[in-house]
Chain A
Amino acid sequence: MVVKLAFPFLAVVLLQAAIAAADEPAATSERMSTENLAIWIDERFAEAWQESNIVPPAEVDDATFLKRSYLDLRGSIPSVSEARDFLDYGSGHRRALLIDRLLNERRRPDKHADRTAAHWATVWRRMMVPGNTPEAQMAVRLEPWLAEQFVANVRYDEVARKLITATSDGQAMVVNPRLGPQGTGPALFYQAVGGKPETAASSVSRVFLGVRIGCAECHDHPFASWKQKDFWGMAAFFSGIKDGSVGDLQVARIRPENSPTEYTAAFLGDAGAVISKGKTPRQALADWMVAENNSLFAATAVNRVWQHLIGHGLTESVDDLDKASPAERQILDQLAKLFVESGFDMRWLITGVCKSKLYQRECAAMVQADAEPPPGQRPIKTLSPEQIFNSLEQALSLPIARADDSARFNGLRTQLIARLNEAASNKPDEFRAGIPQALLMMNGRLTVEATDLNQSRTLRGVLDSPFLDTDGKLTALYLATFSRPPRDDEKQFLLEHIRQQAGEQQQQAYAEIFWGLLNSPEFVLQK
């Protein structure tokens, strides 16, 4: 049984609450507190659900909340001890405290905030440069810069501005103290998406405005209202991007290949707006994009955060905001306005969403094939390749230092992520895998070592521990992989499996169970 240390722990909890509260984005006179934001979100959806006669799902239990918040914020399942700490020591506010700690805790040994920032940098990079091409892999070098922005909680309009106006001239190589020289900062984005004005225009419009204008490069868009001149008007802003360098021309004009027409820079959907003098074309574009009255920018930012946390954007398609109906955009636009008023504060927004009751509800029960959850309700989410590696690293108790030939640094992580990426979807609610991915999880080196009685740290830790009886061993394996204790029916089935193996073979039974847990849908899908 687990040993409880009541008083010292409570003291630590209270101290942490005080620290967390100090780090948390404060309520200022211009904006509401995160608690009030959470309440606001719940009220909006309570109204919406009532109108549609939808009964909201119940709140999840602590174990589900624990795994959900760790994966969504920190990008990895919790360790066994982190899980035990959360599940065994109750306090009324422990869920809110956990959110605060995951977002703000910078002290050792946890350093949650840094890991959370690194995870969000990965999420953002995957969103900005999707796909599996070598160019997309180049974009991984954007992550250290993105992580810096998340750690410092730089205003999102500033982040966007830095990205849009980034140049490659005179850029010092960003040197990460742990990993060595990294790319060339935000300008790398343009190279990763193709290094041409057309690809830059396409990507920037999708990433920051949530509209896809790529089709209109060659002809008027068949489904949306964008015309060729709209596309090339945007591409003109990026006419200084060519031949591997990222800069700005004096005058923003562009002539498409094989075309007689020359296009001047024009803001998307706002062609009449004047481009102010004294600024480079991309500075002007950035000004226009992050302006308070640009309904697409703030809404897209909110939509993307929402999509990552809940699993599905507030509108049907996060990359087609121009097609969303006014009804769909109602809550999104209101929330976007609050986001703008908060000073484009990402951490404030994330905290508010995670503290809402909405975030704590069960996934929508989807009885029909391909059914979509009602607005504001979660679908089952899939883990990204990076989350799968991080969770394996945690569940397998792998060493994490370079000096220990750890999987994180000796190439195994790269290999696993590359293989999973070959199949992975860009959307959190869509699980995709082929046979090579399944075979990798079943018989790949990490799994083989994890289920080998001699090599597996987790198995050795669980099997050698004198404090754990059969029940305790099974619980430890469940906490390691699913971050929850086994239910009674699970215990019944699996304990029978263990009992059927006699003597020496009993240890093998645990290895088989561990294999089953690692390959179960519950490990790669998230409720």
Chain B
Amino acid sequence: MSPTDFTRRDFIKLSFASAFGVSYSGWMPRLALAAEGTKPKACILLWMAGGPTQTDTFDLKVGHANGGPSKAIETAVPGIQISEHLPGVASQMKDLAIIRSMTTQEGDHDRATRLMLTGHRPGQEGVNYPSLGSLFAKELGDEESDLPAYVSVSPFRFGFSGGPGFLGPNYAPLTVSGESDDPEARANLSVENLKPPAGVTKESLERRMEISKFLQDDFAVRANSSSTRTHKANFSRAMRMIASNAKGAFKLDEEPAAIRDKYGRSRFGQGCLLARRLVERGAAFVEVTLEGWDTHADNFNAVKRLSGTLDPAWTTLMTDLRDRGMLGSTLVVWMGEFGRTPKITATTGRDHFPLAWSTVLGGGGIKGGQAIGSTGAAGTEVADRPVKIADFYATMCAGIGVSPEHENISPEGRPIPLVERGGKVIEEIATVPPKKKA
């Protein structure tokens, strides 16, 4: 916890809960998991901006009018079928758990994004809720690392931008832009302002750093304050990132061409490769966005195209993580802000539908090879095992080994839980981490 975040917070002295929350950082459950040999270290979020259809991906209704032309295929797990356009993902099913009974209330892009990314309904009591990446970066991240804990690759969102909220700028995402008009082109993934301008030589950079050090040390003596220290720490961190070029994470050319091809030469595909490299180098939370899922028209062609980008990238990510022994310590989350209507519209599209939709969890502490809940023949409502946002968040927390009862303290001294009250871990797919005894 940064020394600058909670200075002069006398309210902390007043509350038992806050004293509990300030010291408890979720290390206990992680120790317990370490004893089992799996220590969660990271989370990768595959964010499907726009709201991905469930009826044409993970919860098909073949034979029903709502199913449309989508066909299903068997997966590596007997009894679980998914879309024919996701054959690679199907082969990974043993390590994935599909939640078919997600049910949330928000059908507006901005509000739904906020809900899925913070775990809380928007506008409640003026709390500036941190986004998932910031929350998990705080639990998993290493403050001394040369890489920021939370990296967001080619973000695209409707409205809500997913910031650190009250956790402060130490947990803000580092944005990696994905500017490329040609989706098949070598992805142009870069961090804004990371590279010094072309004319600046290595020697010049070193001289600049010498001058900076002189000025900083001098100021630190003459004007000692927490602000001065924060400036210095942040500056040093940025300089280390520049000097190590973000630990070389962005040098995708280092990877064999074959691997890059397997991920797919799309922005999303190369973004997933980048995510794996970032996690290898110590990033705690990486999100990679694939946008275009808001298929109000021409749903089936769009989904086929998107699946063609998603399938190789996700499949290769899973196999890559497994081959490197990282799958057990990396939670993988696949979701959007809501699902889409089972009923097909006049424009051959599907509209927003938060009442019964699908998300997928895998890796980390998740027991894969399962499909939780069902939505009945028509898919218009949850028939069995409804999973609300709080339950989903509780399960993700379990997936990275953090107790769902964990709280952060807001600057006003209020304990803000990671999981909204009442959220229950889906016990079929994750174990509830033990909570610290008072």
* Chain A residues near B219 (CB-CB < 8 A): 520-522, 525
CB contact list, A156-212 vs B, under 8 A: 194, 199, 202, 212
Known interface pairs A370-B3, A435-B234, A493-B214. Does A443 touch B195 (Cβ–Cβ under 8 Å)?
Answer: yes
Q: Is the CB of A512 within 8 A of B414?
A: no
CB contact list, A400-450 vs B, under 8 A: 422-423, 429-440, 442-444, 448
Known interface pairs A131-B128, A525-B227. Does A372 touch B169 (Cβ–Cβ under 8 Å)?
Answer: no
Give Cα A215 to B222, complex, Å: 41
Q: Which of B205-213, B293-301, B356-364 contacts A (4 or more CB under 8 A)?
A: B205-213
Verify if B347 is at the interface (C-beta below 8 Å from A).
Answer: no
CB contact list, B216-243 vs A, under 8 A: 216, 218-220, 222-232, 234-235, 237-239, 241-242
CB contact list, A434-477 vs B, under 8 A: 434-440, 442-444, 448, 452
Nearest chain B CB to A156's CB is how many angstroms away? 26
Verify if A508 is at the interface (C-beta below 8 Å from B).
Answer: yes
Select which of A199, A215, A366 is within 8 A of B224 by beta carbon. Answer: A366
Q: Is the CB of A132 within 8 A of B229?
A: no
Verify if B191 is at the interface (C-beta below 8 Å from A).
Answer: yes
Verify if B180 is at the interface (C-beta below 8 Å from A).
Answer: no
Interface string of A488-527 (1 = CB under 8 A from B): 0110011001000000000011001101110111101101
Q: Which residue of A lies closest to B227 (CB)?
A: A431
* Chain A residues near B192 (CB-CB < 8 A): 436, 439-440
Q: Is the CB of A442 within 8 A of B228?
A: no
Q: How many residues of A contact B (CB 8 A)?
A: 63
Nearest chain B CB to A41's CB is how many angstroms away? 24
Nearest chain A CB to B199's CB is how many angstroms away? 7
Verify if B253 is at the interface (C-beta below 8 Å from A).
Answer: no
Q: Is the CB of B225 within 8 A of A433?
A: no
Q: Is the CB of B215 within 8 A of A432?
A: no
Of listed A316, A317, A381, residue having the most chain B CB within 10 A: A317
Verify if B271 is at the interface (C-beta below 8 Å from A).
Answer: no
Verify if B148 is at the interface (C-beta below 8 Å from A).
Answer: yes
Verify if A387 is at the interface (C-beta below 8 Å from B).
Answer: no
Nearest chain A CB to B274's CB is how many angstroms away? 17
* Chain A residues near B3 (CB-CB < 8 A): 369-370
CB contact list, B123-156 vs A, under 8 A: 123, 125-126, 128, 148
Give Cα A202 to B126, complex, Å: 9
Q: Is the CB of B14 within 8 A of A435?
A: no
Nearest chain B CB to A456's CB is how many angstroms away? 12
Known interface pairs A435-B234, A520-B212, A524-B231. Does A214 touch B125 (Cβ–Cβ under 8 Å)?
Answer: yes
Nearest chain B CB to A65's CB is how many angstroms away? 15
Verify if A380 is at the interface (C-beta below 8 Å from B).
Answer: yes
* Chain A residues near B10 (CB-CB < 8 A): 316
Verify if B68 is at the interface (C-beta below 8 Å from A).
Answer: no
Verify if B19 is at the interface (C-beta below 8 Å from A).
Answer: no
Q: Is the CB of B242 within 8 A of A363?
A: no
Q: Is the CB of B216 within 8 A of A521?
A: yes
* Chain A residues near B227 (CB-CB < 8 A): 379-382, 429-431, 525
Verify if A223 is at the interface (C-beta below 8 Å from B).
Answer: yes
Q: Is the CB of A422 within 8 A of B169?
A: yes
Nearest chain B CB to A484's CB is how many angstroms away? 12
Q: Which residue of A lies closest to B218 (CB)?
A: A490
Give Cα A470 to B234, complex, Å: 32
Q: Is the CB of A436 within 8 A of B172?
A: yes
Nearest chain B CB to A99's CB is how many angstroms away? 23
Select which of B174, B208, B223 is within 8 A of A525 by beta carbon. Answer: B223
* Chain B residues near A517 (CB-CB < 8 A): 215
Verify if B412 is at the interface (C-beta below 8 Å from A).
Answer: yes
Verify if B431 is at the interface (C-beta below 8 Å from A).
Answer: no
Verify if B23 is at the interface (C-beta below 8 Å from A).
Answer: no
Select which of A317, A439, A442, A512 is within 8 A of B211 by beta carbon. Answer: A512
Give Cα A515 to B175, complex, Å: 24
Q: Is the CB of B194 within 8 A of A443?
A: yes
Q: How many residues of B contact A (CB 8 A)?
A: 61
* Chain B residues near A490 (CB-CB < 8 A): 218
Q: Is the CB of A215 within 8 A of B212?
A: no
* Chain B residues near A439 (CB-CB < 8 A): 191-194, 238, 241-242
Q: Is the CB of B174 within 8 A of A438?
A: no
Select which of A363, A513, A515 is within 8 A of B223 by beta carbon. Answer: A363
Known interface pairs A367-B224, A512-B208. Does A442 touch B168 (Cβ–Cβ under 8 Å)?
Answer: no
Select which of A217, A379, A423, A524 is within 8 A of B225 by beta carbon. Answer: A379
Q: Is the CB of A423 within 8 A of B169?
A: yes
Verify if B437 is at the interface (C-beta below 8 Å from A).
Answer: no
Nearest chain A CB to B239's CB is how many angstroms away? 8
Select which of A316, A431, A434, A448 is within 8 A of B197 by beta carbon. Answer: A448
Give Cα A522 to B212, complex, Å: 11
Nearest chain B CB to A72's CB is how many angstroms away? 16
Verify if B196 is at the interface (C-beta below 8 Å from A).
Answer: yes
Interface string of A367-383 (1 = CB under 8 A from B): 10110100000011110
Of listed A379, A380, A432, A509, residue having the most chain B CB within 10 A: A432
Nearest chain A CB to B342's CB is how many angstroms away? 30
Of listed A199, A431, A435, A440, residue having the most chain B CB within 10 A: A435
Give Cα A423 to B224, complex, Å: 21
Q: Is the CB of A515 within 8 A of B208?
A: yes
Give Cα A461 to B122, complex, Å: 52
Q: Is the CB of B125 within 8 A of A218?
A: yes
Nearest chain A CB to B98's CB is how many angstroms away? 34
* Chain B residues near A367 (CB-CB < 8 A): 224
Verify if A152 is at the interface (C-beta below 8 Å from B).
Answer: no
Verify if B202 is at the interface (C-beta below 8 Å from A).
Answer: no
Verify if B244 is at the interface (C-beta below 8 Å from A).
Answer: no
Nearest chain A CB to B417's CB is how many angstroms away? 15
Q: Is the CB of B163 within 8 A of A132?
A: yes
Nearest chain A CB to B399's CB is how many angstroms away? 26
Give Cα A443 to B216, complex, Å: 18
Q: Is the CB of A444 within 8 A of B193?
A: yes
Nearest chain B CB to A128's CB is how many angstroms away? 14
Interface string of A355-373 (1 = CB under 8 A from B): 0000000010111011010
Q: Is the CB of A434 within 8 A of B169?
A: yes
Q: Is the CB of B228 within 8 A of A525?
A: yes
Known interface pairs A437-B169, A512-B207, A512-B211. Does A525 touch B231 (Cβ–Cβ under 8 Å)?
Answer: yes
Q: Which residue of A lies closest to B220 (CB)?
A: A521
Q: Is the CB of A366 within 8 A of B225?
A: yes
* Chain B residues near A438 (CB-CB < 8 A): 234-235, 237-238
Known interface pairs A363-B223, A434-B169, A442-B238. Does A521 touch B228 (Cβ–Cβ under 8 Å)?
Answer: yes
Verify if B8 is at the interface (C-beta below 8 Å from A).
Answer: yes
Select which of B125, B148, B169, B235 is within 8 A of A519 by beta carbon. Answer: B235
Known interface pairs A367-B224, A431-B230, A442-B238. Does A422 touch B163 (Cβ–Cβ under 8 Å)?
Answer: yes
Verify if B105 is at the interface (C-beta below 8 Å from A).
Answer: no
Give Cα A89 to B216, complex, Å: 31
Q: List 18 A-B contacts (CB under 8 A).
A: A214-B125, A369-B3, A372-B8, A379-B227, A423-B169, A434-B148, A434-B172, A435-B234, A435-B238, A442-B193, A442-B238, A443-B193, A443-B196, A443-B242, A489-B218, A516-B212, A520-B215, A525-B223
State the B residues within 8 Å of A (CB): 3-4, 7-8, 10-11, 14-15, 123, 125-126, 128, 148, 163, 168-170, 172, 174-175, 191-197, 199, 204, 207-208, 210-212, 214-216, 218-220, 222-232, 234-235, 237-239, 241-242, 412-414
CB-based closest 4 A-B pairs: A516-B211, A423-B169, A438-B238, A431-B227
Q: A443-B193, A494-B211 are in contact. List 8 more A-B contacts (CB 8 A).
A: A365-B224, A435-B234, A435-B238, A438-B237, A452-B199, A512-B207, A521-B231, A527-B222
